[in-house]
Amino acid sequence: MALHRSNLFILIAALAVTHSSCVNLTTLRLAQVVYRHGDRAPMYIYPTDPYKDVQKYWPNGLGQLTSRGMDQQYDLGEYLRQRYDGFIDRLYDRKQIHVLSSDVDRTLMSAEANLVGLFPKLTTFSEGSAGSEGKVDMQLVPIHTLMDSTDKLLHMSANCPRRDEAFDEYENTSPMIQKIREENENLFEYVKYKMGMPAAHEMFTVMKISDILYCQQQHNLTLPSWANDTILEKMRYLSGIEYAMKGGTTELRRLIGGPLVERLMSNMQAETTSQTRESPKMYMHSGHDDTLAALMATMGVFDPQNPGYASAFIMDLHQEESTGKYFVEIFYRNSTEREPYPLHIPGCGSPCYLEDMQTLLAPYIPTDWEAE
């Protein structure tokens, strides 16, 4: 029976997506994952917020991971197990994986939940195997972290006056940003008025306002009548633009996302020169929406949007069997309910060879971040 043309197209597209996200474990040499924490309570409340009774609506506190967020990370961990099973052993081996998290409750807890999904309970192993005996049946995996005051990778909270100055300069001089501001000035003032904020109050940026409403919506809380679909859609769009500003100039790329790009590139470079299997086969990073936005904006692959909860940036290093050359495949999984899709660095071919990628990204990697 012949397939209808449109159905055939959908089938081909689906097969292409499925194929594109499969991993060739034979050529895979290193896997790196950067993900956002799971669902959380809003970071802020506002004067007219109908849900500002934090104890009632957000009992674990503002900004804290929710049970839904834990489940999202568990699901992501299970997906990563499915993706890398056979490359990363089911029984934890400290030489195979390194986990790094920002020093924030929601990212540390997200990393824990993710690892529970990635590494099955010890009771699933045959009796007598390593670690199968004992009272603790969950595999414990160390999670490394960075002091918030020195974190330039994941929370990007390390002090950097020039970074802040450069961002303000771009925000105040970019014709595109100025145009967006002018076009939406009435919207900003209307929303601030409805929130009970003084017109000149700058604490609540577009991104923060959008986030508050999004969090409430995700928890099936009825939003105020002024927060209709049109305003919500507009705020999310503008929030995506605000995320994209982190890659607005070469200097911003170097100072905001550059350090994390440098880490990922250095890990891959080390893998190509390692003569032994001492370095990890997987590097996992538990971060924030800002982390993903800055990383992808710096690499030139960011589609201005709000990185979703438990969304993941995946970077796989492969080695061609015929030539021995290294190439990189990048994927983005913006939902725990769909397969990741490929990202392509502008100017890098297919396959994107590591040496070409290094050349293209070199302008965005700081040589001395503290000095710059």
Write out pLDDT tens, residues 105-158.
999 999 999 999 999 887 766 565 555 567 888 899 999 999 999 999 999 999
DSSP state of 362: G
Q: By 3-state DSSP, what share of the chain in percent is helix, strand and coil, each rounded to 5?
A: 45, 15, 40
Q: Out of 151, 289, 290, 316, pick the active-site residue.
A: 289
Q: Domain check: are 151 and 30 in the same one?
A: yes
Range of the domain at 329: 25-123+130-158+248-364
H or E, element range at 329: strand 326-333
Q: Out of 37, 98, 155, 318, pick the active-site residue.
A: 37
Per-residue model confidence (pLDDT) at position 340: 94
The answer to whether residue 3 sits within a structural domain is no
Q: Are 201 and 188 in contact (CB under 8 A)?
A: no
Q: Domain check: are 275 and 304 in the same one?
A: yes
Number of domains comprising the chain: 2
Cα–Cα distance measured from residue 371 to residue 255, given in angstroms and rounded to the nearest whole number = 11
Percent of residues, the chain, with pLDDT higher than 70: 89
The answer to whether residue 5 sits within a structural domain is no
Per-residue model confidence (pLDDT) at position 203: 47
Instruction: Give per-residue pLDDT as tens, 194-224.
Output: 999 876 555 457 888 999 999 999 999 999 9
Per-residue model confidence (pLDDT) at position 121: 87
Q: Is 37 a catalytic residue?
A: yes
- Last residue of one domain, picked from the residues 180, 213, 246: 246
Q: Domain check: are 149 and 294 in the same one?
A: yes
The answer to whether residue 212 sits within a structural domain is yes
Per-residue model confidence (pLDDT) at position 17: 41
Q: Domain check: are 358 and 308 in the same one?
A: yes
> What's the CATH code of the domain at 57?
3.40.50.1240
Name the residue among 347, 353, 238 with its Cα closest to residue 299. Answer: 347
Q: Determine the straight-line distance between the first and last CA of the chain, rounded to whole angstroms.
A: 65
Q: Domain check: are 64 and 80 in the same one?
A: yes
Q: Domain check: are 268 and 325 in the same one?
A: yes
Q: Domain check: are 91 and 237 in the same one?
A: no
Instruction: Give per-residue pLDDT as tens, 264-318.
Output: 999 999 999 876 667 899 999 999 999 999 999 999 999 888 999 999 999 999 9
Per-residue model confidence (pLDDT) at position 371: 72
Query: How far is the CA of 119 from the CAs of 59, 80, 86, 102, 135, in angstroms?
Result: 30, 10, 12, 21, 17
Residue 231 confidence (pLDDT) above 90: yes
Q: Which two tokens stand for residue 99?
A: 């986990």
- 3-state class (DSSP) for residue 275: coil
The answer to whether residue 372 sits within a structural domain is no
Cα–Cα distance measured from residue 303 to residue 15, given in angstroms and rounded to the nearest whole number = 23
- Last residue of one domain, picked from the residues 246, 279, 301: 246
DSSP state of 276: S
- Last residue of one domain, picked from the residues 226, 246, 266: 246
The answer to whether residue 254 sits within a structural domain is yes
Name the residue among 22, 334, 353, 294 with its Cα closest to residue 155. Answer: 294
Name the residue among 234, 172, 160, 244 with its Cα closest to residue 202. Answer: 172
The answer to whether residue 2 sits within a structural domain is no
